[in-house]
Amino acid sequence: MSTKTAGILYTVGAYLLWGIFPLYFILLAPTGPFEVVAWRLLLTLGFCILLLALTRGWQRLRAIWRQPKVLALTVLAGILIYINWQVFVIATMTEQVVETSLGYFINPIFTVLLGVLVLHERIRAAQWVAIAIAAVAVGVIIVAYGSFPWIALSLTGSFGLYGLVKKKIGPAVDAVSGLALESFWLIPIAVVILVVVGQGDGITMGTVSPLHTGLLLCAGIATAVPLLLFAAGTRRVDLSLVGMIQFITPIMQFLLGWAVLGEPMPAERWIGFVLVWVAISVFVIDLVFQKGRMRRADLPELI
């Protein structure tokens, strides 16, 4: 298997797993979304520690620990990924999967906008068109549908900023060490959540059924595996290709929410989504043409 083929398979695998995530979290009922995320944080840390032990990654972790600026960025990354996880699980467990798909449809376009505003990158005219159409789509959903898409925009913002922080960290932090540190910083949040839940409705871990307990215990593996597949894939394929593959996840989530779970899609919401898909089409077509131009530029001139 070639390196590129392996990279495509790893990346597609990651996005397929993220695409079916809503079904996994729905199966965790009656556990509430806050308890689910608390266990997800603790079990992800446990799984990462196991991986570090198996791969003898403690030296890499110690090297990161000696870099205060990098450590501070892992704290920020942890906070952003917690927001993303918490909002996603709340949405999934309250039958708002379609809106989560909207957030991940918009995310690539938001990432380009972040590059302009924060990294001062220059973008092409077609990308500005995609950004403008996406902004109109959000406006249509707010005005015509009469509902502020806070779930979609929270997911877009948190994951986009998380990607920006990870870009700032760069190769200084490997995938397993980074996820381990991000989970480690969030232990106090997980503990507080479990204490509050325990004093309220009560913790459900181990109280529902053996199957439910087993599924809940898999939260760490379910979180870490697609992230590790993603990290392995993106090291082997061009980012432009990753940019096109990533739409697998929101497409799957949209179909799950609309066709499988029967979430409402009135005409006003369809208009907003169609505009988003037009923006994505412009975005992807521009990527394809840019990739073709770069490939032609790399060809040696014929004499």
Model confidence pLDDT, tens digit, residues 135-154 = 898 888 888 777 788 999 99
Is the pLDDT reported for residue 266 higher than 60?
Answer: yes
Q: What is the pLDDT of residue 303?
A: 40
Domain extent listing, the chain: 3-294
Q: What is the pLDDT of residue 31?
A: 94
CA 249 to chain CA centroid, Å, is 9
The residue ranking higher by pLDDT, 183 or 297, is 183
Stated pTM of the model? 0.88
The model's confidence at residue 302, banded by pLDDT at 50, 70 and 90, is: very low
46-63 pLDDT tens trace: 999 999 999 888 998 999
Rounded Cα–Cα distance for residues 177 and 180 (Å): 5
Torsion of CA 32, 33, 39, 45, to 10 degrees: 180
16-42 pLDDT tens trace: 999 999 999 999 999 999 999 999 999
Residue carrying the six token digits 């309250």: 94
Q: What is the pLDDT of residue 151?
A: 94
φ/ψ of 132, rounded to 5, equals -65, -45
